[in-house]
Amino acid sequence: MARLPDVKREDIAPDMQYAYDEIAGSRGAVRGPFAMLLHSPDVAARIAHAGAYIRFETTLEGAVRELAILTVARHWDCQYEYTAHQPIAEREGVRPETIAAVCDRTAPAGLDEHEALVFTYVNELLAKKRVPQATFDAMRAWLGDRSLIDLSATIGYYSMLACVLDACAVVPEADITPLLPHAGY
């Protein structure tokens, strides 16, 4: 059980219920990080707006976006985020062996050139807090400037969500099998 209760629409001041409605409308429901973020409706609304672009409108191909998200979730050991996005990654065409390598922490071994570049870019940024020039240049040559920024923002956005999820001890619902091999909370 999460450390904070899920926020219901009626829990929010009437002048802020639009935030709940926008999140439910764009995502089909309010759950996971947004059930926590709505404890601060202004923050939730602003983050949801940025997230709608990152998740649904980005210039990144779906497989690139989802590989980056899985890599971020694994970096943070965020069970909820990883478990939610692995099936999406599969639907977007991320190879099963790539998903396994990220989950098992054996990547970039076994990844193709572009998968390894995404994995390396994410991990260097998160672990070293910098991206070496060679990695940056390779990513820029492959994706171009706009998609490189979209990728960087995706890493930051999903890191922020992982921090909220992990701080609040949000785990997958009881009927969903967790996909990361760690004990959780």
Q: Which region holds residue 60: left if phi is over 0, alpha if psi is between -120 and 50, else beta?
A: beta
Same domain, 80 and 146: yes
Phi, psi of 172 (to 5 degrees): -55, 155
User: Is 183's pLDDT higher than 80?
Assistant: no
Contact 119, 67 (CB under 8 A): yes
Amino acid at 136: F
Same domain, 27 and 91: no
Q: 114-158 pLDDT, tens per residue?
A: 999 999 999 999 999 999 999 999 999 999 999 999 999 999 999
Q: 11-63 pLDDT, tens per residue?
A: 999 999 999 999 999 889 999 999 999 999 999 999 999 999 999 999 999 99
| Alpha helices, H only, the chain | 17-27, 33-37, 41-52, 62-76, 79-91, 96-104, 113-123, 133-143, 145-167
Question: What is the pTM assigned to this prediction?
Answer: 0.95
- Structural domain count of the chain: 2
- pLDDT number for residue 174: 87
- Host domain of residue 126: 62-167
